């Protein structure tokens, strides 16, 4: 990393710390959200007897006439997430950050969760801004948001993800 980049990264980290201070909550609470911003994906961790997770959804706005768009990232941070309801069963392949190989899992299609504290971050790549907003739950997710939340809640409650490995699949040549 070049010196100029290190400076900018430090500067960003200072701004991050200032935002966290302004929100008046313990710093560690924001870790999953900061990870989602920096590295992408969903995150969960247990810290000081708190369960923390972030769930990321993507929303692309595209102007057919201008032929230009942007993908908003909506990151939801939950402190002590509580599962309210789940609906449906979707069989799908997932790759966990802890694991190199993909695995077959079952996830709900819809899921509703609440949390002791919920913060929504909207990362706008066009404006280059990250908007933060405190939300009151419960929050419902459909599709990819539901799969991500279910995956992280499984980590928080059971550590291991229940799955079938890819090598149990069979190739079939179709006529």
Of 66-74, 79-87, 93-101, 122-130, the window that binds Zn ion (rule: CB under 5 A) is 93-101
For Zn ion (CB under 5 A), the number of binding residues is 1
Cα(90)–Cα(149) distance, rounded to whole angstroms? 14
- Of 2 and 158, the one with the shorter C-beta distance to Zn ion is 158
Q: Which stretch binds Zn ion (CB under 5 A): 55-63, 91-99, 113-121, 127-135?
A: 91-99
Q: Map tokens 């149990």 to a residue.
A: 168
Among 83, 96, 132, 142, binds Zn ion (CB under 5 A): 96
Write down the least CB distance from residue 126 to Zn ion, Å. Answer: 30
List, in order, residues 6 or more apart from 90 with CB less than 8 Å away.
106, 107, 108, 109, 147
For residues 108-127, b (16+ Cβ closer than 10 Å) or e, as one string? beebbbebebbbebebeeee
Distance CA 101, CA 94 (A): 9
From 55-63, 92-100, 106-114, 167-175, span contacting Zn ion (CB under 5 A): 92-100
Q: Is 80 left (phi over 0), alpha (psi -120 to 50) or beta?
A: left
For residue 45, state whether it binds Zn ion (rule: CB under 5 A).
no
Binding segment toward Zn ion, per CB under 5 A, in 96-104, 110-118, 119-127, 128-136: 96-104
- Cβ-contact 130, 120 below 8 angstroms: no
Q: Which residue is nearest to Zn ion (CB)?
A: 96
Residues in contact with Zn ion by CB under 5 A are: 96
């Amino acid at each position: 990393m070049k010196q100029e980049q290190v400076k900018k990264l430090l500067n960003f980290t200072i701004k991050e710390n200032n935002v966290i201070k302004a929100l008046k909550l313990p710093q560690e609470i924001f870790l999953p959200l900061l990870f989602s911003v920096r590295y992408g994906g969903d995150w969960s961790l247990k810290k000081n007897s708190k369960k923390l997770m972030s769930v990321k959804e993507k929303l692309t706005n595209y102007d057919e006439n201008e032929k230009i768009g942007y993908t908003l990232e909506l990151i939801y941070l939950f402190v002590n997430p509580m599962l309210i309801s789940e609906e449906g069963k979707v069989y799908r392949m997932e790759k966990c950050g802890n694991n190199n190989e993909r695995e077959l899992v079952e996830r709900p299609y819809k899921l509703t969760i609440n949390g002791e504290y919920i913060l929504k971050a909207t990362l706008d790549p066009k404006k280059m801004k990250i908007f933060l907003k405190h939300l009151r739950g419960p929050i419902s997710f459909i599709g990819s948001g539901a799969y991500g939340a279910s995956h992280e809640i499984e980590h928080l409650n059971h550590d291991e993800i229940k799955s079938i490995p890819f090598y149990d699949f069979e190739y079939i040549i179709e006529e």
